[in-house]
C-alpha cells in the first residue's frame, strides 16, 4: 500500500511535468511569456520542496502526499477555466509547481525509507512511473482527445483526485523521532560540501530534463515544422518512453554497479544525445534521438536522490528537500533564459552545455562521498 501510494503520487507528477510542454504550443503565448509561466511553476516547486523536508521529518510523509495531491487536483480543475488568460494560467501552473514539489519530496522520501538496502533500485522503479505519467499527457492529448488541452485537464484532474483519495485512506507510519528533524543536528547536513555538489548536479539535470519537457514540442513545431500531433508523439513515445524504459533497466543495473558510475555514464550520454537532438531534421530520426535522450536522463534524478539518502542517513528528508529545491532552481533559471533567445535552436544548446558540466561535478563528488557523515 505504501509503495502504491508513492507510485500514484509520482505518476501524477509525471502528468504535471508534461502539462506545460503539451499545452504551450496551443495557447499562443510568446516565448518570453511561456518562459515566465514555466518559471512560475519552477518557483512553486522551489518553495514547496524547500519547506516540506523538515515538515516530513517532523510530521511524516502522509501530510506531504495528501497536501501536494490536493493542490495538484485544484490546479487541474482550475486550468480549463483559465483559457488563454495569462494571469490565470500563471496561477494554475504555480499551484501545480507547489503541489508537485511537495509530492516529489514526500514520495521519494517514503520509498527511500521503505527499502534502504536497495535504495537506488527502488527509487528508479518508483520514478519510472514518472515517465509513464509524462507519456500519458502528450500521447492522450494528441491521439485520443483530438489535441484538446481542456479535455486533458479534466482527465488529469480526475486521476489526481483519485490518487488523492487513495493516499488519504492509506495508513502511513508516523515519524519515530530517531531520524526526524532536529535543529541541533542541522549543521551535520548543511555543513557538508557533498550536499552542495549533489544539489548542483541536480540543478543542472533538472534544467536539462525540464528543458525537453517544456520546449521540445514547441521546437519541433516552430523550427522543424512538424505538425503538432507528430511533435507531441515524439515527446510521449520518444522522451517519456525513454525515461520509463531507462528507469526499468537501470533498476537492475544498480544492483551491481555503483550509483556514481551510473550517473557519470548517463551524464556523458546526455551531452551526446541532447546535442544530436538539435541536429536531426526528419521525424523518425528525431524520435530515435529523443528516445535515446530519455534513456540517458532516466537514472539521474532517482539515483541522485539515492546518493543523498546514503550520504545523509539522519534527517534524510531535510537533505533530500534541499537537494530537490536546488534542482527546481534549474527550471526557474533555464526556462526564462531559453524563452529570451531569438532562436530556439540556439537557446536549447543550454542542454548539452549543462550536461558537460554535470560530468565535471560527478567527478568532483567522488572524494566527498567517501568521507564519513
Residue 178 reports pLDDT greater than 60? no
Separation CA 108–CA 103 (nearest Å): 8
Cβ atoms of 220 and 226 within 8 Å: the answer is yes
- Which residue shows C-alpha cell 557533498? 194
CA distance 9 to 203: 22
d(CA 121, CA 103): 20
Q: How far apart are CA 64 and CA 58, in angstroms?
A: 11
Q: For the whole model, what pTM was predicted?
A: 0.79
Closest to 251 (Cα-Cα) out of 367, 371, 111: 111
Mean pLDDT, range 77-97, rounded to an integer: 87
User: What pLDDT does residue 71 have?
Assistant: 94
The predicted structure's pLDDT at residue 120: 66
114, pLDDT greater than 70: no
pLDDT score of 370: 67
pLDDT of residue 293: 97
Identify the band that residue 181 occupies on the pLDDT scale cut at 50, 70 and 90: very low
Average pLDDT over every residue of 172-201: 68
Cell of 233: 508523439
Main-chain phi, psi angles of 52, to 5 degrees: -80, -25
End-to-end CA distance of the chain: 32
Average pLDDT, the chain: 85
pLDDT at 256 over 80: yes
Reference 88, options 29, 159, 164, 146; nearest CA is 29
Of 157-161, 301-305, 319-323, 329-333, the range with the highest mean pLDDT is 157-161
What is the structure's pLDDT at 158? 95
CB 136 within 8 A of CB 17: no
pLDDT at 321 over 90: no
pLDDT band, very low/low/confident/very high, at 188 (cuts 50, 70, 90):
low
Q: What is the DSSP letter of 20?
A: H
Distance CA 45, CA 105 (A): 10
Quote the Cα angle for 73-74-76, to 5°: 65
Pick from 371, 330, 42, 329: which is nearest to 192 by CA?
371
Q: What is 289-331 written as a DSSP string?
A: HHHHHHHHHTTHHHHHHHHHHHH--SSHHHHHHHHHHHHHHHH
Averaged pLDDT, 306-322: 77
pLDDT of the residue at 119: 65
Of 338, 314, 358, 330, the C-alpha closest to 201 is 358
- The stretch 33-38 carries a mean pLDDT of 85
pLDDT of residue 206: 93
Q: Residue 38: its pLDDT value, please?
A: 85
Domains recognised in the chain with CATH numbers? 2-169+189-369 (1.20.1250.20)
How far is it, in rounded angstroms, from Cα 207 to Cα 141?
Answer: 25
Residue-level pLDDT at 221: 92
> In the prediction, which pLDDT does 161 show?
96
Answer whether residue 364 shows pLDDT above 90: yes
Q: What is the pLDDT, as a whole number, of residue 163?
A: 95
Distance between CA atoms of residues 111 and 5, nearest Å:
10
Q: What is the DSSP letter of 175?
A: P
| Full DSSP string of 62-94 | HHHHHHHHHHHHHHHHHHHHHTT-HHHHHHHHH
**Given the C-alpha cell 513545431, which residue does it identify?**
221
How confident is the model over 283-300, as a mean pLDDT? Answer: 95
Residue 27 has pLDDT above 80, yes or no: no
Describe the crossing of helices 86-114 and 2-23 by its angle, rounded to 10 degrees: 150
Instruction: Give the percent of the chain with pLDDT over 90.
Output: 37
Taking each helix axis as running N to C, give the angle between helix 119-143 and helix 86-114, from 0 to 180 degrees, rounded to the nearest 10.
150
* The pLDDT value given to residue 342: 67
**In the chain, what percentage of residues exceed pLDDT 70?**
90
Residue 295 has pLDDT above 90, yes or no: yes
CA distance 342 to 223: 12
Q: Is the pLDDT of residue 290 over 90?
A: yes
What is the chain's alpha carbon radius of gyration, rounded to the nearest angstrom? 19
pLDDT at 328 over 60: yes
Q: Say whether pLDDT at 54 is over 80.
A: no
Amino acid at each position: 500500500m505504501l509503495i502504491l501510494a508513492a507510485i500514484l503520487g509520482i505518476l501524477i507528477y509525471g502528468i504535471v511535468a508534461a502539462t506545460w510542454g503539451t499545452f504551450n504550443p496551443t495557447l499562443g503565448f510568446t516565448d518570453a511569456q511561456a518562459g515566465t509561466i514555466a518559471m512560475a511553476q519552477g518557483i512553486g516547486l522551489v518553495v514547496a520542496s524547500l519547506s516540506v523536508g523538515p515538515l516530513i521529518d517532523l510530521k511524516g510523509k502522509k501530510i506531504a502526499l495528501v497536501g501536494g495531491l490536493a493542490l495538484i487536483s485544484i490546479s487541474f480543475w482550475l486550468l480549463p477555466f483559465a483559457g488563454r488568460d495569462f494571469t490565470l494560467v500563471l496561477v494554475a501552473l504555480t499551484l501545480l509547481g507547489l503541489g508537485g514539489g511537495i509530492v516529489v519530496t514526500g514520495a521519494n522520501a517514503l520509498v527511500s525509507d521503505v527499502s534502504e538496502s536497495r535504495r537506488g533500485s527502488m527509487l528508479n522503479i518508483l520514478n519510472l512511473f514518472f515517465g509513464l505519467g509524462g507519456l500519458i499527457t502528450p500521447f492522450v492529448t494528441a491521439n485520443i482527445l483530438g489535441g484538446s488541452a481542456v479535455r486533458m485537464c479534466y482527465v488529469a484532474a480526475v486521476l489526481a483526485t483519485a490518487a488523492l483519495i487513495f493516499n488519504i485512506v492509506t495508513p502511513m507510519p508516523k515519524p519515530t523521532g530517531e531520524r526526524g528533524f532536529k535543529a541541533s543536528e542541522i549543521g551535520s547536513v548543511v555543513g557538508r560540501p557533498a550536499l552542495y555538489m549533489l544539489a548542483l548536479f541536480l540543478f543542472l539535470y533538472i534544467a536539462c530534463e525540464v528543458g525537453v519537457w517544456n520546449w521540445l514540442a514547441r521546437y519541433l513545431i516552430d523550427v522543424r515544422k512538424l505538425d503538432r500531433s507528430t511533435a507531441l508523439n515524439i515527446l510521449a513515445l520518444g522522451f517519456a518512453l525513454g525515461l520509463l524504459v531507462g528507469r526499468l533497466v537501470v533498476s537492475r543495473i544498480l544492483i551491481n554497479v555503483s550509483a556514481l558510475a551510473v550517473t557519470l555514464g548517463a551524464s556523458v550520454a546526455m551531452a551526446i544525445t541532447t546535442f544530436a537532438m538539435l541536429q536531426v531534421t526528419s521525424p523518425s530520426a528525431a524520435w530515435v534521438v529523443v528516445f535515446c535522450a530519455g534513456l540517458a536522463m532516466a537514472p539521474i534524478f532517482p539515483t541522485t536522490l539515492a546518493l543523498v539518502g546514503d550520504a545523509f542517513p539522519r534527517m534524510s528528508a531535510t537533505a533530500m528537500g534541499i537537494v530537490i529545491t536546488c534542482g527546481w532552481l534549474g527550471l526557474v533559471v533555464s526556462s526564462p533564459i531559453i524563452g529570451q533567445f531569438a532562436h530556439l535552436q540556439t537557446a536549447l544548446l543550454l542542454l548539452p552545455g549543462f550536461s558537460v558540466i554535470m560530468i565535471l561535478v560527478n567527478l568532483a563528488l567522488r572524494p566527498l562521498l567517501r568521507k564519513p557523515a
